[in-house]
Amino acid sequence: MGAKGRRSKKSSSHSKKDKRRRRAVRHSQAKKTIISRISRSGKRRKDIDEVSRKPISGRRLSLFRIVALTIIPALLFLLMEITLRVVGYGFPTNIIIKQKVNNIPSYCNNLKFAWRFFHPNIARTTDPFVFPVSKSKDTYRIFVMGASAAAGTPDGAFSFGRILQVMLRQQYPDTNFEVIIPAMPAINSHVVLEIADDCKRYQSDLFIIYLGNNEVVGPYGAGTVFSPLSSNLSLIRFGIALKATKLGQLITNLLESPGSTNVPKVWRGLEMFLEKQVRADNTKLGIVYRHFQRNLQDIRHLACKSGINIIFSTVPSNLKDCPPFASLHRPDLINAEKKNFDELYQQGVKYEADGDYDQAVEWFLKAAEIDSYYANLQFRMGRCYWAMGKYEKSRERYIQARELDTLRFRADNQINEIIRNIACNRSDEGVYMLDAVRRFDENSPHEIPGEELFLEHVHMNFKGNYLLAKAVFEQTEKILPEWIKLKKEEERSFPTEEECARLLAYTDWDLYKIYSIILNDYFKQAPFTNQLYNDRRISQIGQELKALEDSLSPKVLNEVEGQYRWAIQQTPSDSWLHLKFAELLEDLGNHNAAANQYRLVLDYMPNHFVAYAKLGLLFGKAGDLDTAIAHNLEAVRIYPVFAEAYFNLGFAYQLQKKYDQSVKHYSQAILLVPDNAITYNNLGSVLYQQGKVDEAIETYRNGLKIIPDNLDLHYNLGIVLEEQGHREEALRELRTALKIEPNSTKVRKILNIVLKNAAQ
């Protein structure tokens, strides 16, 4: 037992030592493991550091830059665009939008389309049009595109497109011809390209392009007051595309803040361009021509690609009876030469006035040796040659006068040559050229177009529109599809000018209205007032107006009413006929019948804001002010920059003695049309009724800054100043009013009262 016990004790001792050794070994191994891990970790960190110190490859850097510069901004742009659309910001930008007409899905004109190119206050619109979404099998759809001449200014009811539709329907009565006219004043090829790109989507069969007068003065032209010219067409198109987005519209609105002065906000017609003269040798014209050519090429391409036939027409203008709007001497003319030129020129003018045209031409030719760039000189020579019977020379000089006109409102030779080149010899592609310039020459005395076909510089009278429509018809008929031609069972006599006039209810009453517009809105306004012989022209058209007025006896007006009723029976759904008939009935004092016609217009054209305003005016005259207000509010809802409706609202609220609302709407009317004296007078009266005398005085004075020769503004201001004790100022205003109208009884009466008070 003792030995066994000793072994057991020894064994126990050894076991403890073994445990210590094993712990030591494990500790040593653990230490080595930790050291090894630390070593490997350090190595990894070293490897990482070495990797991090390696340069990023060019490919990865380029990719990162692309993402940073394109994808991220694009995503931000998309996010902002979606947000703006969700909150309803901005306006639709296509020329055509959807609308229900009598519960029928239809397309109509977008009144805000031109806001992409002009400030909303001055943007023009197309005349209203509507056509069904569903195109029937027997329908042939035509779009007429261009600017004011294509739209039929000054009265779209008698445009060449409307006359063309009459011709087509008369010759092919079993076919439904839709002639849609998305044309409007002040636009050019930059805008029409966008219109054509939109119209191609609506099952169009034919495009008719009548375009070229506004290439220099329209948006992005060399003589524009709108969007400025750029030599980079891609940059122009990017800007146009950007404004089609809500974000682009937001940016534009921020840049065109109320205080900005670089963008015109009041429409003043051609007068706006007086400071934008462009010489014939200006290098910027080359840019204009290149842009015009490229835009027409792209219009042609999109039509061909869409399987749409297209007719390009050259653009004639008034040569004989439209003197240049502005003339400039050649830029290197020194003072001595200019003095010599003026002496020779004035000698020619003297002989011309005396009717000695041979002598006049001799002096003019001597002046031309010094400076042949002066447009008025060329026109005077053309006129003298005409009087001498030398018509070829006359024509040459008239053309030269147009080419040298530095206010370039007429398509020149280069514009028309571009049109010819774009369309010539491409009939196999569905592209056709109509030389309207040649057609007008052939139908003018001695091949020099003038007042026989034109109202002023480019807008045609009914005869001119008929001539152009007939030329377009002849070209259109050649390309009509067989299914239409087969329906024509018999040859029909072609509609004469008189027959087309009858079907469109073109009467002496309409001619009187047109001449009134031409006289007051054109010839009595700049730059027409700067043209040679303008006083003579004003006198002539004034005499014609007087003769027309005298001829419109009650019996004749009754016949005119009958002509309208007959035309409406032939085409009951023609909204133009109903609109014009309503205006006639209103003139005749038949307000109830006029209101019924305006309602019919709205049945066919629910977005016809003019009809709403006119209907509201009739209700106002009948004493139903609430309904009048409702109709005019609808007019400004449809078209928020319609000054006439704001004036009507101001007047209606004034009659209701709701003066705050009246002031609000009168003020908006002035903002849109700041040269209407009646608005200032009415607003001043309302402010006076509110006891805001100082504001009333300021309103009258603001009006006189713009319309200094208005009798009523001077008269009303004089009365208010007298009541406020400002007698000297009151007398000055009343005396000025009396100078304007020496026979005014009301002015004399108040002036005598003030003078009597002053003497006491």
CA distance 337 to 527: 27
Question: Tens of pLDDT along 329-353?
Answer: 999 999 999 999 999 999 999 999 9
> How many CB atoms are located within 10 Å of the residue 454 CB?
24
Per-residue pLDDT band for 758 (boundaries 50, 70, 90) equals confident
Q: So what's the pLDDT on residue 76?
A: 81
Q: So what's the pLDDT on residue 7?
A: 43
User: Per-residue pLDDT for 20 more than 60?
Assistant: no
Q: At a CB cut-off of 8 Å and minimum separation 6, what does 330 contact?
A: 371, 372, 373, 374
- On whether the CB atoms of residues 217 and 249 are closer than 8 A, the answer is no
Least confident range of 75-89, 121-135, 634-648: 75-89
- On whether the CB atoms of residues 591 and 618 are closer than 8 A, the answer is yes
Q: So what's the pLDDT on residue 53?
A: 55
Walk across the sheet containing 130-132 and list its strands: 96-101, 104-109, 130-132
User: Per-residue pLDDT for 651 more than 80?
Assistant: yes
CA distance 41 to 382: 99
Give the CA dihedral 462, 467, 469, 474, nearest 10 degrees. 160
What residues are paired with 146 via a beta bridge? 210
Per-residue pLDDT band for 255 (boundaries 50, 70, 90) equals confident
Closest CA to 467 of 163, 54, 109: 163
Per-residue pLDDT band for 57 (boundaries 50, 70, 90) equals low
Q: At a CB cut-off of 8 Å and minimum separation 6, what does 607 contact?
A: 99, 108, 109, 111, 128, 638
What residues are paired with 98 via a beta bridge? 107
Q: Token pair for residue 551? A: 């001829």
Q: So what's the pLDDT on residue 529?
A: 98
Is the peptide bond preceding residue 105 cis, with omega within 30 degrees of 0?
Answer: no
Per-residue pLDDT band for 9 (boundaries 50, 70, 90) equals very low
> How many CB atoms are located within 10 Å of the residue 181 CB?
25
Least confident range of 38-42, 192-196, 350-354, 453-457: 38-42
Phi-psi domain of 410 (left: phi exceeds 0; alpha: psi -120 through 50; beta: other): beta
Exposed/middle/buried for 571, CB within 10 Å: 0-12, 13-18, 19+?
middle
Q: So what's the pLDDT on residue 8?
A: 45
Per-residue pLDDT band for 72 (boundaries 50, 70, 90) equals confident
Question: Tens of pLDDT along 468-508?
Answer: 999 999 999 999 999 999 988 788 899 999 999 999 999 99
The arithmetic mean of pLDDT across residues 370-397, rounded, is 99
Per-residue pLDDT band for 3 (boundaries 50, 70, 90) equals very low
Per-residue pLDDT band for 688 (boundaries 50, 70, 90) equals very high
Q: At a CB cut-off of 8 Å and minimum separation 6, what does 217 contact?
A: 186, 223, 224, 225, 273, 276, 407, 408, 409
Closest CA to 129 of 158, 106, 153, 159: 106
CA distance 416 to 435: 9
Least confident range of 62-66, 514-518, 724-728: 62-66
Closest CA to 344 of 361, 323, 325: 361
Q: So what's the pLDDT on residue 251?
A: 86
Q: 347 φ, ψ to 5°?
A: -65, -45
Q: Running DSSP on this structure, what letter comes out for residue 519?
A: I
Question: Tens of pLDDT along 357-376?
Answer: 999 999 999 999 999 999 99
Per-residue pLDDT band for 21 (boundaries 50, 70, 90) equals low
The arithmetic mean of pLDDT across residues 704-719, rounded, is 97
CA distance 182 to 237: 20
Q: So what's the pLDDT on residue 258?
A: 60
Helix, strand and coil in the chain, % to nearest 5 = 65, 5, 30
Q: So what's the pLDDT on residue 63?
A: 65
CA distance 107 to 219: 26
Half-sphere exposure of 563 (CA within 13 A, CB side): 21
Question: Tens of pLDDT along 606-637?
Answer: 999 999 999 999 999 999 999 999 999 999 99
**3-state class of 180 per DSSP?**
strand
The arithmetic mean of pLDDT across residues 187-207, rounded, is 98
Question: Tens of pLDDT along 205-230?
Answer: 999 999 999 999 999 999 999 989 99
Q: So what's the pLDDT on residue 54?
A: 56
